[in-house]
Copies of this chain bind each other. A is one copy, B any other.
């Protein structure tokens, strides 16, 4: 088996290194000794694609290298493309992907860091930290007392690895956890789970609303102005999903009127958010520049572990746990 790893030529923080690959191989002896190539340039990519069966790379590389119809000519033996992102909405629509090529996302690599970021955001909102950030800009010492998380209700939209990790932390702090996802299948860290279609019924109880879902046709614009109006007075929002999952202007409006008491967002439209954008100055809104779920110290190790676990599953004739269903979008 030939695995090619294509680092973006401009990647400074997260390039996969030969040492990381060696260490990951030693953690997965069942994978054997595949041929591994690494490159970050055009020539290295073109040459490797003649023979490679597996490609591990960044979403933006896939998007740039494989326009619709181009893949079979560029990479005739390719069977698996593994992306280093969990959300592959940037590759949609998937018309560029031949049906016989398996596309893997990186679901799971973000669970530990993303889960801690989610818990941190809930704690910050319970202690009014975004409000104090606004007060600090105004150089105003204005007390507002907060609460512990215990017995508060959080509604988590999306129970993938990040949302599931968030639910686990929230439960450990005594919160009541309502999960929302495609199906109502119970989740070990949720008190109840409802389908996205039943979202309106649980929003009135959501003191905290945490968005951790993939961006799909079903979730685009999910938290619109009407649904924000269904939240209880003083509700608090966290968005670690995508900016298009909520109506950004409606959130800013509700923070300005005080209908919402605070929000933490790791995402924005557009990214990077330009100077002068209203989000920077919206009271009670903390803007984080899309770094919630990536820990450089552990990310590539986790990424390689996920790739090798998927390859082992496929070798054993089992479904690859990270396979993206293009029709579903994640």
Contacts of A291 in B (CB 8 A): 127-128, 143-146
B146, B149, B274, B296: the one contacting A145 at CB < 8 Å is B296
CA distance A133 to B147 in the complex (A): 22
The 8 A CB mask of A101-126 against B (1 = contact, 0 = none) is 00000000000110011011001101
Interface residues of A in 235-276 (CB under 8 A from B): 268, 271-276
Task: Please indicate which of the listed interface residues A116, A144, A268, A286 has the most CB atoms of chain B within 10 Å of its own CB.
Answer: A116
Additional A-B contact list (19), CB under 8 Å, known A124-B124, A136-B137, A145-B296: A113-B146, A116-B149, A117-B146, A120-B127, A127-B291, A132-B287, A132-B288, A133-B133, A136-B286, A139-B280, A140-B275, A141-B268, A142-B289, A143-B289, A143-B291, A144-B291, A147-B295, A147-B298, A148-B298
A43 within 8 A of B: no
Given contacts A120-B124, A133-B133, A133-B136, contact A13 B145 (CB under 8 A): yes
Interface residues of A in 153-185 (CB under 8 A from B): 173
Shortest CB-to-CB span from A252 to chain B, Å, is 14
Instruction: Decide: A273 and B112 in contact? CB cutoff 8 A.
Output: no
The 8 A CB mask of A279-294 against B (1 = contact, 0 = none) is 0110000111111101
Given contacts A120-B120, A120-B123, A288-B129, contact A295 B136 (CB under 8 A): no
Interface residues of A in 37-63 (CB under 8 A from B): none
B116, B133, B268, B298: the one contacting A123 at CB < 8 Å is B116
A197 within 8 A of B: no
A277 within 8 A of B: yes
Instruction: Decide: A276 and B139 in contact? CB cutoff 8 A.
Output: yes
Instruction: Decide: A127 and B286 in contact? CB cutoff 8 A.
Output: no
A198 within 8 A of B: no
Instruction: Decide: A173 and B116 in contact? CB cutoff 8 A.
Output: yes
Shortest CB-to-CB span from A285 to chain B, Å, is 9
Contacts of A133 in B (CB 8 A): 133, 136, 286
A150 within 8 A of B: yes
A196 within 8 A of B: no
A19 within 8 A of B: no
